[in-house]
Amino acid sequence: MSEGHVYTAYHPRWLRQRISTYWWLEKPAYLAFILREASCVFVAWFVVYLLLLVDAVSGGAAAYAQFLAWSADAPILLLNVVSFLFVVFHAVTFFDAAPQAMVVHVGQTRVPGHLVLAGHYAAWAAVSVFVAWLLASGQ
């Protein structure tokens, strides 16, 4: 078996099947994949937004008030709602994938996938509760 293809008079005339530019619309799973890939843009936006928030907070009360007013603008609000939905989609699909990528052993036995998944959600819940507590206690 040689590398590459040697064309001889007797080489079969292959039919190359083309992939359509819209292949990602062919199956719901492909579309979900493309949306998950696209979600990284929104994740990046949230990072930028967070940095802007930090910058506003460090800029004093006036800067913070201005930031809040800007955030309440319809386009920014809409962008943030859409970003939030994408980030949740990203997180959920990421967690769903975790049991496939992580094989955890306790002693000799392999931890079943749904427990690995449950562990991820538990960690998410714990962090959320912690953040909520931080916010509530800061009031």
Residues that bind another protein (CB under 8 A): 1, 3, 5, 12-17, 19, 23-24, 26-27, 29-30, 33, 37, 97, 100-103, 108, 110
Closer CB to another protein, residue 21 or residue 139?
Answer: 21
Q: Report, in Å, the least distance between residue 37 CB and another protein.
A: 7
Closer CB to another protein, residue 33 or residue 133?
Answer: 33
Sign of the alpha-carbon torsion through 74, 82, 55, 126: positive
Q: How far apart are CA 121 and CA 134, in angstroms?
A: 20
Closer CB to another protein, residue 29 or residue 48?
Answer: 29
Q: How far apart are CA 123 and CA 98, in angstroms?
A: 13
Q: Report, in Å, the least distance between residue 71 CB and another protein.
A: 33
The answer to whether the CB of 90 falls within 8 A of the CB of 43 is yes
DSSP assigned state of 1:
-
